[in-house]
Amino acid sequence: MLKVGIDVGSTTMKTVAMREDNTLVFCDYQRHYSQIIEKGKEMIQAMIDRIGDDEVTIALSGSAGMGLAEAADIPFVQEVYATRVAAKTFIPDTDAIIELGGEDAKILFLKGGLEVRMNGTCAGGTGAFIDQMATLLGISRDDIDRLSEQSTELYTIASRCGVFAKSDIQPLINQGAKTEDIAASILVAVVNQTIAGLAQGRKIEGKVVYLGGPLTFIKRLRYYFDKALNTEGICPENSLYYVAMGSALSPDGKKMRLSDVVTALESYRGKGEYVKLEPLFNDEAEYKAFRERHLKADVPVRDPSTYTGRAYLGIDAGSTTIKTCLLSEDGKLLLSRYSPNNGNPVQAIQSFLSSLYDTYPDIQIAASASTGYGEDLMKAAFSLDYSLVETEAHFIGAKYFMPDVDFIIDIGGQDIKCFKIRDGVIDDIFLNEACSSGCGSFLQTFANALGKSAQEFAELALTAKEPVDLGSRCTVFMNSSVKQAQKDGATINDISAGLAISVVKNALYKVIRTSNPEELGHRIVTQGGTFLNDAVLRAFEKELGLEVVRPQIAGLMGAYGAALYAKMMAKRHELRLSSTIRKEELEGLQHTVKNVRCQGCTNHCLLTVNSFGTKRRMISGNKCEKPITGKKEDSAEKWDVYAYKQELLDSYRARKTGAKGTLGLPLALGMYELLPFYVTLFQDLGYDTVVSPFSTRDIYIKGQSSIPSDTVCFPAKLMHGAVDWLVREKVDRIFIPCSSYNVNEEKGNNHFNCPVVAYYGEVIKGNQDLEGIPLTLGYLALDNPKHLARRISELFGVSRREAAKAISKGFDALADYRKRITDKGLEIISESRKEGRQIIVLAGRPYHTDPEINHGIDRMIVSLGASVISEDSVAPLTGKGQDNVLNQWTYHARMYDAARYIADQRDMNLVQLVSFGCGLDAVTTDEVKEILRAKDRIYTQIKIDEITNLGAVRIRMRSLFAAIEMEEEKDNG
């Protein structure tokens, strides 16, 4: 009897039939476009055509297979288990298997204690991830393989989550980094993610087998795995079919005829048991009225072939698309273009301009401006006159359609931008973050996955009878929700409508965080390519219960605003001659990209240098202005408390020989605050303290493999690297403070540490190889010196008197350290006021001082001309306040205090740093925002994690400064 196995993966379906002796008679591999039941029927029919319809034993496996198994009543085998059965049969001496699928990644250890690991729900580094990144680069998966061979430089890409990775890759593309290098970096990111996230410290060695689509098709991926594991793994014959073969071999197989399976699938109907929403349109007439209403929001156009004279060019270089608008002197739209940038925005504009110059020689560009992610690149490449931050461009565009607009929402391909306008000034800005990433490209991805164009897919939604309620989730999660809905019998129309609704809900409830759409405003302009999708627009109006304006050029609003800006500025500056690149020069434009390591300081930033012919170049990737201006900066700490803190902390690294040997202190989490205390204390007790350095990417990667929870916050993850560094230093002992309570500053109802700061040492103890170095976890009372002395004397074998003396010195050092920070803060405030500099309170936790955690955001803000102080430098300036939340964490209380303090200081603004996964910040962000709102102040939040690129943060900060400037201009009349 033949044995049949089916494997329904997240993107592909595999079928095999095997003889008794386990040789393959038949195998097939196809993409299923989520049409699982239909595809199953088709593939089994194909199998019958080849092997006939005798009785077989059959079993089914795969992450998307449960529905099919139910429908046809076939036994279901868990896929990791199936893999193992197959491996045992075909390669019995396997030690470890690495299997990457569409959305799952697995590692199986077969020898020495069976262990199977599967990625958590919140994870990237899979086949779908690679496909997504390829789409982003505008190349195929095979190209990734081929191009990566020619890479010369690797970039850091966060691969924990596809959305994170995108935010690292997008700016690389826009800065002109080589596709070869990005391709290689993507593969390396996948390798790092798999090894670190799944092996979790267990060594992968011996005979390693690579399975699954990505590892079969991308040989460079195997190469990078080999390199990372220092081994030569094998990718066996039929590596795509191991799961299918494993289920065929499974003892649970059921005897049946394949034709019975086909019959069962033919009669299968989804139960229709999904959560349904109201249709977008009840009938055709309703849709017609809707169309007509929105057709009115139009811009006057003018035929460019009959136009001669001055024109204004606006370019919006977005993350995936590039938009251009050309306006006549009387503000009419002459030309516009909306096109994907295919990873090369310079080329896109080059071709636009050359066709403009060729076709309409009578039009001359009088002024030009760029905006968007690629604003700087565009300005440099084409020598444009102006550039402006995109929020401003959108506001200018929107005002044309609705002069008294009070809320603008822009949903583009990759991001959502919303801003409130009050009294003609941008008042509040919301941008989406990784976990609220449902934007346009998301609809596009789904359309493609279901085998439709974006346009076709959007039209389907309009006639949906019972849209699926998909909630508002992150893109990664949405995949499985859609599959679940399909399994439950939702039609593609209902899914399309459901997705459109979820994009809107995501924007309203996750990005803007409104519970009452009334709060937004009543004069709303919608922008961005995604709103050209009528389903999204309708869903938005329905959710708000309000009619909004959607300009016909919704997708071009950034470029339109930029063109209007160019026109406005040209008039204001009486610009006679635009600097925009001329025809002759355009033809000779040679765009080259080079990567160099900056030698300006120890950061050694990887700089991307774009050169355009002989004269112009643009440098990006820098964290400071040095490589551009060539000038030495003001000493960093002059305007920056964070830099000052780093310097202060550095001073505690000085070693002092001690009779009791070396004691390693990992500089991570709570130690960032308490370093002065512990160094002083332990040096006094006779220890030679060794402090781990500030984190770097390299240190992080070295400690990454012992992290047990991939969703814990980044600051906690860095603890592993710090401890690993100390282990390699071969210190005699390591000390990690572990306390429920922090110092009592009398500012809240209690003075807790957060659970992670409090007990992370336990994770180190349980998961990290310390090579025999003893680890002391100090459960210590910092709020009770007397008791502390007792504990220290117990833990370190010193007399209580000695302990008490050392403790008192430690507290003096801590008080001194804290005072210096407050003094420095006050000094910066007064110096800044003298020079009229904006002051930003970058409010986070003490460990946000770590340069790998804050990614140099402090320096970036300084480079924009503002000063940076920290929450703990201003918190002591205000008393205990009344809070609407339980205020019981020492570090968090400081943020509330800082917010209350600056609420009354008009020249100070607060920017809150939030780490992904910080559960407490779900509480603090809303509260800090409310404190600021109560006094009409702008609240800005920056979420940080591994993502190293500051592009989005920069836009956010510049928007903030633009808003402040507009407000000042208004105040000054």
Partner 1 sequence: MAKIPFTQEMKDKGYTIAIPNMSPIHFNIMKRIFINHGFRPVLLENSSPSVIREGLKYVHNDMCYPCLLVIGQIIDAINRGIVDKDHTAVIISQTGGGCRASNYYFLLIKALERAGLGNIPVISANLQGMNANPGFQITLPMLVQAFTALVYGDLLMLLSNQVKPYEINKGDTDRVIDKWTDILGDCYEKNKGYFWGNMKKKLFQIADDFAAVPVKRVPKVKVGVVGEIYMKYSRLGNSNLQGFLEDEGAEVMLPPMMGFVLYCFANGIKDEEYYGGRAKYAFLMKHIGMPLLTIVEKWTDQAIERYPEFRTAATFKELEKYAERFIDRGCKMGEGWLLTAEMAELIEKGYDNIVCTQPFGCLPNHICGKGMIRPLKEAYPESNIVPIDYDPSATKVNQENRIKLMLAVAREKLEASEVK
Per-residue contact track with partner 1, 225 to 254, x per CB under 8 A? ------------------------------
CA distances in angstroms from 495 to 12, 65, 461, 873, listed in the order given: 20, 19, 8, 51
Binds partner 1 by CB under 8 A, chosen from 164, 760, 847, 896: 760
Would you call 61 helix, strand, or coil by DSSP? strand
Per-residue contact track with partner 1, 419 to 458, x per CB under 8 A? ----------------xx----------------------
What six digits make up the tokens of 226? Answer: 């080999």
Per-residue contact track with partner 1, 728 to 747, x per CB under 8 A? ----------xxxx------
Q: How far is the CB of 329 from partner 1 (least distance, A)?
A: 48
Binds partner 1 by CB under 8 A, chosen from 211, 377, 754, 895: 754
- Which of the stretches 450-458, 483-491, 640-648, 846-854 binds partner 1 when contact is defined by CB under 8 A? 483-491
- Does residue number 787 form part of the binding site for partner 1 (CB under 8 A)? yes
Helix locations, 467-533, DSSP H: 475-487, 492-505
CA distances in angstroms from 970 to 58, 150, 567, listed in the order given: 75, 54, 21
- Alpha-carbon distance 867 to 865, whole Å? 7
Residues 935-954 that bind partner 1 (CB under 8 A): none
Token look-up 């909630």 returns 471
Binds partner 1 by CB under 8 A, chosen from 266, 762, 812, 968: 762
Q: How many residues make contact with partner 1 (CB under 8 A)?
A: 83
Question: Quick one: 343 or 761, whose CB is closer to partner 1?
Answer: 761
174, 164 contact by CB (below 8 A): no
Per-residue contact track with partner 1, 388 to 407, x per CB under 8 A? --------------------
- Does residue number 200 form part of the binding site for partner 1 (CB under 8 A)? yes
- Which of the stretches 231-239, 576-584, 772-780, 865-873 binds partner 1 when contact is defined by CB under 8 A? 772-780
Q: How far is the CB of 770 from partner 1 (least distance, A)?
A: 13
Q: How far is the CB of 848 from partner 1 (least distance, A)?
A: 17
Question: Quick one: 592 or 884, whose CB is closer to partner 1?
Answer: 884
Q: How far is the CB of 285 from partner 1 (least distance, A)?
A: 30
- Alpha-carbon distance 944 to 434, whole Å? 10
Binds partner 1 by CB under 8 A, chosen from 260, 477, 776, 905: 477
Q: How far is the CB of 488 from partner 1 (least distance, A)?
A: 11
- Does residue number 469 form part of the binding site for partner 1 (CB under 8 A)? yes
Question: Quick one: 437 or 580, whose CB is closer to partner 1?
Answer: 437
Specify the pairing of strand 115-118 against strand 105-109: antiparallel
Token look-up 């004279």 returns 309
Binds partner 1 by CB under 8 A, chosen from 31, 702, 790, 833: 790
Question: Quick one: 64 or 960, whose CB is closer to partner 1?
Answer: 64
What six digits make up the tokens of 702? Answer: 């070295």
Binds partner 1 by CB under 8 A, chosen from 472, 695, 854, 909: 472
Q: How far is the CB of 472 from partner 1 (least distance, A)?
A: 7
Per-residue contact track with partner 1, 889 to 928, x per CB under 8 A? x---------------------------x-xxxxx-xx--
Question: Quick one: 696 or 808, whose CB is closer to partner 1?
Answer: 808
Binds partner 1 by CB under 8 A, chosen from 481, 863, 948, 949: 481
- Does residue number 78 form part of the binding site for partner 1 (CB under 8 A)? yes
- Residue 933 CA to its chain's centroid (Å): 27
Residues 524-563 that bind partner 1 (CB under 8 A): none
- Which of the stretches 437-445, 478-486, 696-704, 866-874 binds partner 1 when contact is defined by CB under 8 A? 478-486
At what angle are helices 36-51 and 258-266 packed, to 10 degrees?
150
- Alpha-carbon distance 511 to 595, whole Å? 35
Render the burial of 804-822: b for 16+ CB within 10 Å, e for the rest: bbbbebbbebbeebbeebb
- Does residue number 779 form part of the binding site for partner 1 (CB under 8 A)? yes
- Alpha-carbon distance 392 to 602, whole Å? 36
Question: Quick one: 28 or 79, whose CB is closer to partner 1?
Answer: 79
- From start to end of 111-244, where are the E strands? 115-118, 208-211
Which residue, among 603, 682, 406, has the nearest Cα to 519 in the 3D structure? Answer: 406
Q: How far is the CB of 333 from partner 1 (least distance, A)?
A: 40
Question: Quick one: 62 or 825, whose CB is closer to partner 1?
Answer: 62
| Identity of residue 98 | I
- Which of the stretches 139-147, 237-245, 258-266, 467-475 binds partner 1 when contact is defined by CB under 8 A? 467-475
Residues 831-890 that bind partner 1 (CB under 8 A): 884-886, 888-889
- Alpha-carbon distance 844 to 836, whole Å? 25
What six digits make up the tokens of 392? Answer: 């401003």
Residues 266-285 that bind partner 1 (CB under 8 A): 275
Would you call 366 helix, strand, or coil by DSSP? strand
Residues 2-41 that bind partner 1 (CB under 8 A): none
What six digits make up the tokens of 10? Answer: 């997240």
Q: How far is the CB of 276 from partner 1 (least distance, A)?
A: 10
Question: Quick one: 104 or 180, whose CB is closer to partner 1?
Answer: 104
Question: Quick one: 317 or 713, whose CB is closer to partner 1?
Answer: 713
- Does residue number 81 form part of the binding site for partner 1 (CB under 8 A)? yes
- Alpha-carbon distance 728 to 486, whole Å? 52
- Alpha-carbon distance 87 to 76, whole Å? 18
Residues 503-522 that bind partner 1 (CB under 8 A): 509-510, 513, 515-516
- Report phi then psi at 211, rounded to 5: -130, 165
- Report phi then psi at 950, rounded to 5: -100, 10
Question: Quick one: 106 or 394, whose CB is closer to partner 1?
Answer: 106
- Alpha-carbon distance 229 to 222, whole Å? 10
Binds partner 1 by CB under 8 A, chosen from 56, 77, 244, 353: 77
Would you call 149 helix, strand, or coil by DSSP? coil
Residues 99-118 that bind partner 1 (CB under 8 A): 113-116, 118
Residues 332-391 that bind partner 1 (CB under 8 A): none
- Alpha-carbon distance 928 to 900, whole Å? 8
- Alpha-carbon distance 317 to 866, whole Å? 26
3-state helix, strand, coil in the chain (%, to 5): 45, 20, 35
Binds partner 1 by CB under 8 A, chosen from 92, 300, 630, 766: 766
> Cβ atoms within 10 A of the Cβ of 239, count?
17
- Alpha-carbon distance 910 to 628, whole Å? 29
Question: Quick one: 114 or 659, whose CB is closer to partner 1?
Answer: 114
CA distances in angstroms from 633 to 628, 695, 838, listed in the order given: 11, 23, 18
Binds partner 1 by CB under 8 A, chosen from 569, 609, 781, 864: 781
Q: How far is the CB of 234 from partner 1 (least distance, A)?
A: 24
Binds partner 1 by CB under 8 A, chosen from 135, 354, 448, 709: 709
Binds partner 1 by CB under 8 A, chosen from 388, 712, 814, 955: 712
Question: Quick one: 783 or 802, whose CB is closer to partner 1?
Answer: 783
Which residue, among 700, 770, 593, 635, has the nearest Cα to 173 in the 3D structure? Answer: 593
Question: Quick one: 377 or 736, whose CB is closer to partner 1?
Answer: 736
Specify the pairing of strand 908-915 against strand 839-843: parallel
437, 472 contact by CB (below 8 A): no
558, 323 contact by CB (below 8 A): yes
- Alpha-carbon distance 821 to 329, whole Å? 55
Residues 53-72 that bind partner 1 (CB under 8 A): 63-64, 66
In sequence order, what are the residues at sequence separation of 6 or more whose Cβ sits closer than 8 angstroms to the Cβ of residue 704?
Answer: 192, 196, 717, 720, 721
What six digits make up the tokens of 927? Answer: 């509260």
